[in-house]
Amino acid sequence: MSQKKEIGDIEIHAFIDGALDADRLPEIKARIEADPALAQRTAEFRADKEMLKRVYAPLLDRPIPQEWLALVHVPTVPSWTAMSRRLVGSIAAVFLIAVGTFGYWELRPINRGEIVQTALDARANVAQAERVVSIRPGANADEYDGILSAAVALNVKVPDLARLGYQLAEIRLYRDSTNSGAAELFYVDTNKQLFTLYLRHSDGTVRFDQFNRDGLRVCVWQDEELGTVMAGNVSTAAMQRLASLAYTGLTL
């Protein structure tokens, strides 16, 4: 007896959006109805999508600024700064959120590199922080922009993830063997679930990847100058939503 084809996240999102191929629809629907675990996974993705719509509904009613469109369509030239390229990356993240394509990113395995393990070691307290910054109760995330920019020697902002239920709780600052700075931002939600954002100078490789590591969902989002690693015990869709908001918040 041949094994049934595994139902992946992309097919589940297509089922939810009514975009599934007609020849797969009856089988997918029947298997979701018959499998409690698969039904739960589908329900969680559907809930993520509905929350995303509520959070970003105002963006859908606004025209896309012509300046943004011009930036996205202008070819990259040597005179562009790394910050300009980061801005375009942030704009792309906003577009992905606004048009709802987050469920259809093709996540190809790539060389994930040492930055991932460094970020997870920092999250797990394996790495010794040079300084720990506690967040004042009621403080706005942008109050700590200067600390973060100075730590990583880049013009970045502390992302505000409150719209997705996460509050900034702590910032840990690091110094590696080459004396380069790094930082990890710790966010918690109302259920005390932890989401971390690690950032430092990149190795110049532009990359995006998402995968499971050590029981966590991990997202690597890197441009020519800034490398980020995000980690949390969240679904694929929730990670893509958090990652988009976090990456956008670093620049915009």
Model confidence pLDDT, tens digit, residues 166-205: 999 999 999 866 668 999 999 999 889 999 999 998 888 7
From edge to edge, which strands make up the β-sheet containing 226-232?
131-134, 167-175, 181-188, 194-201, 226-232, 216-222, 207-213
**Nearest-angstrom CA–CA distance, 138 and 226:** 29
Q: What is the CATH number of domain 107-251?
A: 3.30.200.100
The pLDDT value given to residue 47: 79
pLDDT at 218: 93
Rg (CA), the chain: 19
Question: What pLDDT does 157 receive?
Answer: 94
Residue 123 has pLDDT above 80, yes or no: yes
User: What DSSP string runs through the chain?
Assistant: -PPPPP--HHHHHHHHTT-S-TTTHHHHHHHHHH-HHHHHHHHHHHHHHHHHHHHHHHHHTSPPPHHHHHHHHSPP-TT--HHHHHHHHHHHHHHHHHHTGGGG--------HHHHHHHHHHHTT-SPPSEEEEPPTT--GGGGHHHHHHHHTS-------GGGT-EEEEEEEEE-TT--EEEEEEEE-TT--EEEEEEEE--S--EEEEEEETTEEEEEEE-SSEEEEEEES--HHHHHHHHHHHHHHHH-
Q: What CA–CA distance (Å, rounded) separates 118 from 19?
A: 39
The pLDDT assigned to 103 comes to 40
The pLDDT, as a whole number, for residue 2 is 47
What average pLDDT does range 210-224 have in this prediction?
87
101, 191 contact by CB (below 8 A): no
pLDDT number for residue 175: 84
Q: Which of 64, 120, 132, 122 is nearest to 96 (CA)?
A: 64
Average pLDDT rounded to a whole number, residues 31-51? 84
Mean of the per-residue pLDDT values of the chain: 77
pLDDT at 226 over 50: yes
CB neighbour list of residue 88: distance below 8 Å, 6 or more residues apart? 71, 72
Q: Return the sign of the alpha-carbon dihedral for residues 163, 164, 167, 173.
A: negative
Selected residue with higher pLDDT from 182 and 224? 182
**What are φ and ψ of residue 234, in 5° steps?**
-135, 170
**pLDDT exceeds cutoff 70 at 11:** yes
What's the confidence (pLDDT) of residue 221?
Answer: 86
| Domain parsing of the chain, residue ranges | 9-54, 107-251
Mean pLDDT across the stretch 233-252?
Answer: 84
